[in-house]
Amino acid sequence: MTVAELKEKGIIIYECLSGSHAYGLATEHSDEDIKGVFILPEEEYFGLDYIDQVSNDTNDIVYYELKRFVELLTKSNPGALEMLYSPEDTILYMHPVFEQLRGLQLLSKKCEDTFGGYAITQVRKAKGLKKKIVNPVEKERKGVLDFCFVAEGQGAVPVQDYLTAHGIDASSCGLAKIPHMHDVYGLYYGASGFKGIVQSNDSNDVTLSSVPKGMQPLAYMSFNKSGYSTYCKEYKEYWEWVEKRNDQRYQNTLEHGKNYDAKNMMHTFRLLRMCREIAESGQLKVRRNDRDFLLSIKQGDFDYDELLTQAKGIVETLSECYNDSDLPEAPDRKMLNEVLVRCRRMFYELV
């Protein structure tokens, strides 16, 4: 099902502007995101073709089926709660059926985990991005040999440097495990039939060879296997990020010179402050009155470490705020189920 089909069938019951327009953080360059709720026709809801979400290709227009939307509310999902309590001037359409949900008070102590937990996840993402910017990974991928070292004197040298110094080709060498020594091998040279240190440049491990009885190793070699595995993971993550990253946001990050995703950090503080406000006032303030502060973060006016310190300070206050709050422990699931059934029945009767 497509967004156009939802509209053609007349099954949308709620539609609102979301994101920066709802938060009051929109600028001239802000995209217009739309979210909403729909109710499947009876035959599709009761049949095998249940659809819980419909979106456009760019995912900036998203509609949730009523049941899915209510499920998100039972979990205190930040996005669903922001939709439910969107400012009046962002509501594009609201069917009378949806008014029953709109009037409910569904904030609870679970918001500490959902709003606060999501914000902390955003901080981790910002840290990960900073690491990628400050420590870019070379496009040319390293291989197993780059993580192999030969004991020499009181230290170790890269195996490739060692072999070059001795005029030996890695493909002419043989390796044999040293008993009781983890990832340490005897490095042999001078016999036919050796398979080399690796089978190819694409190998993910060293290669063992049969060594003639009594033959002494030329040297002892260690393969830093855990280091190689970590490198492969970071290499894959980095170049996948390069491929999928939002280039406009990345360029903005480079331009403000603070080496962190400023938009990401802006939303981190928005979520943390909303989380604390829920505990202190029992209200979800979607439209922000701290617009100037949040946009100053987006513009890169703060140093990264300064923002982390501020974020940590807010996180440390949340537990006490929620312990002192009169909010219920969780949304009333039974009541929400009753409202869900009532809304669906009412909609089917009307259509």
Whether the predicted pLDDT of 104 surpasses 80: yes
| Paired tokens of 137 | 């990974």
Do 198 and 145 form a contact (C-beta atoms < 8 A)? yes
Please give the residue that has the higher pLDDT: either 138 or 209. Answer: 209
| Paired tokens of 122 | 């955003």
Highest mean pLDDT among 19-23, 47-51, 303-307: 19-23
Provide the Cα torsion 100, 41, 58, 14; round to 10°. Answer: -20
Do 278 and 111 form a contact (C-beta atoms < 8 A)? yes
Could you give the CA distance from residue 11 to residue 14 in angstroms, rounded to a whole number? 9
Of 41, 77, 34, the closest CA to residue 59 belongs to 34
Contacting residues for 59 by C-beta, under 8 A, at least 6 apart: none
Percentage above 90 pLDDT, the chain: 65
State the Rg of the chain over Cα. Answer: 29
| Paired tokens of 342 | 């009532």
Do 125 and 264 form a contact (C-beta atoms < 8 A)? yes
Type of residue numbered 10: G
Contacting residues for 192 by C-beta, under 8 A, at least 6 apart: none
Which of 13-27, 107-121, 327-341 bottoms out in mean pLDDT, i.e. has the lowest? 107-121
- CA 155-158-159 angle, to 5 degrees, is 110
The pLDDT tens digits of the residues spanning 289-332 come to 999 999 998 888 888 888 888 988 998 999 999 999 999 999 99
| Paired tokens of 144 | 């197993």
For tokens 């987006």, what's the residue?
Answer: 298
pLDDT confidence of residue 251? 55
**Average pLDDT, whole number, for the chain?**
89
The pLDDT tens digits of the residues spanning 148-173 come to 999 988 899 999 999 999 999 999 99
Cα 231 from chain centre: 20
- Cα–Cα distance list, 151 to 99, 131, 222 (Å): 74, 32, 8
Q: Which residues of 289-314 are buried (b: 16+ CB within 10 A; e: fewer)?
A: ebeeebbebbebebebeebbebbeeb
The pLDDT tens digits of the residues spanning 241-258 come to 777 665 655 555 545 555
| Paired tokens of 98 | 């949806």
Neighbours of 151 (CB within 10 A): 15
pLDDT confidence of residue 237? 82
Whether the predicted pLDDT of 52 surpasses 90: yes
Do 232 and 196 form a contact (C-beta atoms < 8 A)? no
pTM above 0.85, yes or no: no
| Paired tokens of 299 | 């513009």
Neighbours of 269 (CB within 10 A): 23
Percentage above 70 pLDDT, the chain: 91
Could you give the CA distance from residue 66 to residue 44 in angstroms, rounded to a whole number? 13
**Mean of the pLDDT values across residues 29-34?**
86
E-assigned strand segments in 224-293: none
Whether the predicted pLDDT of 14 surpasses 90: yes
